[in-house]
Amino acid sequence: MPDPVSCASCGKPATTRCSGCLNAPEHQPDDAPVTAYCDSKCQHQQWPAHKAQCRILMKRKTLLRIAELLKTALFAYRECVYDMPLTGVKYEEGILRLLMDPRKIPYRPWQIPFPSDLSISPQHKEAVLATNQCTTAQCLLGPLARYLLGGIKSIFKVVEVHAEPVVPWKVVWLNGSKDESRTVACTAVTHTILLVWASGEGWVVDITGCQFGFRDILVPLDSYFKKRVKSLVRGPFAYTEHETSDLDVFDSKLALNDTDTKRLKAAHERAGRLHFAKFVQERFDRYESPRPSEELLSGTPEEFQVKLAQFESGLKVHMASFVDFAFGKERLN
């Protein structure tokens, strides 16, 4: 049962909470109080005084749902088209160790489903899926992020920072009886984040921060930079990337003596990105109308989670068809 509260209009015991701002995230401590009423009459009378704050809190809730949707989209994509020969995950001495077997490096196709037989916690699975995916996320989610954020009349920029991991990770390459490892420095990791300003409030949307132990995907800007950032690397700059921006740069640098394998691998990844883009564009009416976004992001918390799960399931089915096609099991239109 929720804690008892008083009616914001008359002070009597309240039975109805304002659904518009309920469960909104805090930007400053205690700045998202519960607003409740004893009946609809009191709610109507108090609305002129409450509406300004309610609309700010509603925008915060929508921004949080946008962040959750972007994270869901990235991880659904990564679960279907994974490109690392992962054989195990160990959490030892405050470090997350990703065990890799070079003999299991994916080869034609180079992207395969995430291994389903691993014994791994949901938190560590998210960290593994997000490892080294800052640039991929920035590009893959670019058009979708701009579409969703445009719906709440926000300003947004991308910035690269030196972050201080809560849980650093280490890639361990298994090589017979000896292990060769590559580590990420605990003190200064280059990390890409999205800055968003809405209703005069600054926020950080951090989709891939879970790889460093950052649990929250939406954090007040001042708090994020105070607790997680060591220094600024580059930016802020305009968020203009599209699904294959980084691959376009990579392709432009390919030399004539580069191997066919490198070229084919890049082409395979591009095909996977474009297959993702096709699903998202169709789901959101090719970004030509705000209606699909409003429908998905609206509703009670329970209703939104159902719609989010349906979106995730649909995307996984769509991406699974790409993997089947890569294995020669299916033809794509």
Sorted by where each begins, the domain ranges of the chain are 58-326
pLDDT of 263:
77
Q: What is the pLDDT of residues 18-28, one digit of tens each?
A: 888 888 999 99
187 with 230: CB under 8 angstroms?
Answer: yes
- 80-91 pLDDT, tens digit per residue, is 999 888 999 999
Provide the mean pLDDT of the chain.
Answer: 88
DSSP 8-state assignment for residue 206:
-
- The confidence score (pLDDT) of residue 1 equals 37
Strand partners, 287: none
Instruction: Classify residue 75 as exposed, middle or buried by CB count within 10 Å of its CB (0-12, 13-18, 19+).
Output: buried
Structure tokens, 299: 């509703």
pLDDT at 208 over 90: yes
Share of the chain above pLDDT 90, in %: 64
Structure tokens at 154: 């926000």
- Listed in order, strand segments (DSSP E) in 125-165 are 155-163
The average pLDDT across 188-217 equals 94
Please tell me whether residue 35 adopts helix, strand or coil conformation.
coil
CB 54 within 8 A of CB 17: no
The DSSP call for residue 212 is G
User: When comparing pLDDT for 324 and 279, which is higher?
Assistant: 279
Residues 6 or more apart from 240 whose CB is under 8 A from it? 142
Q: What is the pLDDT of residue 139?
A: 96
> Which tokens is 189 given?
């990791």
Instruction: At 206, list the tokens.
Output: 């951090």
pLDDT higher at 25 or 168:
25
Tens of pLDDT, residue by residue over 210-267, are 999 999 999 999 999 999 999 999 999 999 999 999 998 877 766 655 566 777 888 8
Decide: 244 and 274 in contact? Cβ < 8 Å: yes
Question: Which tens digit of pLDDT belongs to each residue from 112-144?
Answer: 889 988 889 999 999 999 999 999 999 999 999
With bands split at pLDDT 50, 70 and 90, how would you rate the model's confidence at 34? Answer: confident
Cα(176)–Cα(194) distance, rounded to whole angstroms? 41
Q: Is the dihedral of CA 236, 239, 243, 249 positive or negative?
A: negative
Q: 250: left (phi > 0), else alpha (psi -120 to 50), else beta? A: alpha
pLDDT > 70: percent of the chain: 89
| Alpha carbons 56 and 44: distance in angstroms, whole number | 19
Collapsing DSSP to helix, strand or coil, 192 comes out as strand
Residue of 76, 102, 129 lying closest to 272 (CA atoms): 76
The amino acid present at 311, given as its one-letter code, is F
Q: Which of 202, 206, 203 is nearest to 192 (CA)?
A: 206
pLDDT band at 151 (very low <50, low <70, confident <90, very high): very high
Q: Which residue has the higher pLDDT, 254 or 308?
A: 308
